[in-house]
Structure 1
Amino acid sequence: MTTANTVTEQLTRAGQAIEQGSFAVIDAEVGAHAYTSEQWPIVRRMIHANADFDFNGLTRFHPDAVAAGIAAILKGGTPLVADVEMICVGLSVPRLAHFGIATHQFISNADVIARAQAEDTTRAVQAMRKAHRLGLLNGAIVGIGNAPTALIELVRLIHEEGARPALVVGMPVGFVSAAESKALMAEVSEVPWIVIDGRKGGSTLVVAAVHALLALAEGRQRQGMQPD
């Protein structure tokens, strides 16, 4: 029985060759790093997404982050809550479907917009609150790549309202509160997280990190299918 991933790889041999060739270039050029054997594929895929070697060093992991992410994926049916639609669109539907993962984002919902206007907050804040009201945050993978206010609100929900995501991939990009929001997340001990220090980030990096976690989960799944 083969141990190669089939669901979370490129679907053609040509595509696989290009992707694996890119990873080989990154491995050859990256230099030294302090990431574990399971953290590195995540960072490498993030570098691949942006051709930016700065993510070697800027990317930080809660000690339980990778294990928690893989466990949440393998559990099956785990919700993935995003701050913006771009993350949901960027994720591979077949890869998510293999693990029964459904995506959720509420940034453009009429009720979210109305609450944001009435309470003078951002839509991202209200979207996180809606996800919590709907019971979607507990046990979820939460991906935040655009809105620092979403990550700040999520930290508040963890501290003040007991929200307990399985994993937070907190990578909002920007110049206002982006670095600060990730620093806040990195102080959280109750919930595992993956963050990027500083201003850099973005939805493409969240997508890359989640795809890497899906690949790690499939590898673990296939290992479990091997005969004794």
Structure 2
Amino acid sequence: MTTDAPQDAPQDAPKSYTYEKDPAAIYRQSFSIVRAEAELSHLPEALHPVAVRLIHACGMTDLPRDLAWSDDVTDAALEAFQNATQVFCDVEMVAHGIIRSRLPKACDVICTLNDVSVPELAKRLGTTRSAAAVELWRERLEGSVVAIGNAPTALFHLLEMVAAGGPRPALVLGFAVGFVGAAESKEALIANPFGIPYLVVKGRRGGSAMAAAAVNALAAGLPEEG
């Protein structure tokens, strides 16, 4: 039997808790702790802010040891953003985590997973909705930024499209997560023979928060618009 009546709190229940409430202090302390605990010396200096943001997004200070990147990743990101490119996301959670104010005003953030054509397209292609949604990127994919924070099949399909002569993105951020295909899809991105710049976290770890954090950190290096 359940009731909606309020329950009396135990006599020894605390009436308040001691914790930091000042947003600015929380922000400063968080990044101070990350920088104190994380080992970043093996990363290029330009990737330190990105690694710090990624750690802040997931709470794992050992994450930098699993990062892999192309030498031109930061330059490719800045050039793509400055050209007011599109940012394609495999899931809405990535898209919603991107801070629009850090992007040029003409830069679109696009997720096609919920497009009405996707279920039928996935059935016809014999693949997942996430992979089928990538097909809808073709017309605007050239020179874009791609942020994969969930689906390994989306990353695999993207690479297959490029291999078949499709348009080439300017940068791929690979943070597919999970136990089936996640590690393998990111290894395929690392080994890509197409010259696509990339940043990935190897293995099973990843997620939408990290993919969005990577976009936000790389876009933070843009000059402010006048």
TM-score (structure 1 length as normaliser): 0.84
Deviation readout 1:77-107 (Å, 9 max, x if unpaired): 21011111111111123223x4421111111
Cα deviation, residue 21, structure 1: 2.5
1:65-76 matches, within 5 Å, as 65-75=73-83
Name the structure with the higher helix share. Answer: 1
1:126-145 matches, within 5 Å, as 126-132=132-138, 135-145=139-149
Q: Is the 8 A contact 2:155 2:185 kept in 1?
A: yes
Residue 81 of structure 1: aligned partner = 88
Residue 46 of structure 2: aligned partner = 38
Between the aligned partners of 1:204 and 1:125, the Cα distance in structure 2 is 20
Whether 2:204 is the aligned partner of 1:204: answer no
SS in 2 for 1:19: helix
Residue 160 of structure 1: aligned partner = 164
Residue 119 of structure 1: aligned partner = 125
Q: Which runs of 5+ in 2 are unaligned?
A: 1-21
**Percent of pairs identical after alignment?**
34
Q: Radius of gyration: which is bigger? A: 2
- What is the root-mean-square deviation in Å for CA atoms of aligned residues? 1.8
Cα deviation, residue 209, structure 1: 0.5
Query: What is the identity, as a one-letter code, of the residue corresponding to 2:80?
Result: A
Q: Is the 8 A contact 2:57 2:210 kept in 1?
A: yes
Give every structure 1 segment of 4 or more consecutive aligned residues whose post-TM-superposition deviation is greater than 2 Å: 14-21, 93-96
Between the aligned partners of 2:186 and 2:131, the Cα distance in structure 1 is 15
Between the aligned partners of 2:111 and 2:145, the Cα distance in structure 1 is 12
Distance 1:73 1:15, change over 3 A: farther
Distance 1:147 1:211, change over 3 A: same
Q: Which runs of 5+ in 1 are unaligned?
A: 1-13
Cα deviation, residue 163, structure 1: 2.2
Between the aligned partners of 2:48 and 2:168, the Cα distance in structure 1 is 25
Between the aligned partners of 2:23 and 2:205, the Cα distance in structure 1 is 28
Query: What is the identity, as a one-letter code, of the residue corresponding to 1:129?
Result: E
Q: Is the 8 A contact 1:33 1:56 kept in 2?
A: no
Q: Is the 8 A contact 2:39 2:62 kept in 1?
A: no
SS in 2 for 1:168: strand
TM-score (structure 2 length as normaliser): 0.85
Between the aligned partners of 2:125 and 2:106, the Cα distance in structure 1 is 35
Pairing partner for 1:146 from 142, 146, 150: 150
SS in 1 for 2:112: coil
Between the aligned partners of 1:129 and 1:85, the Cα distance in structure 2 is 16
Cα deviation, residue 28, structure 1: 1.0
Residue 18 of structure 1: aligned partner = 26
Q: Is the 8 A contact 1:74 1:99 kept in 2?
A: no
Query: What is the identity, as a one-letter code, of the residue corresponding to 1:52?
Result: M
Deviation readout 1:42-96 (Å, 9 max, x if unpaired): 1110000111012111111111111100111122x21011111111111123223
Q: Is the 8 A contact 2:125 2:132 kept in 1?
A: no
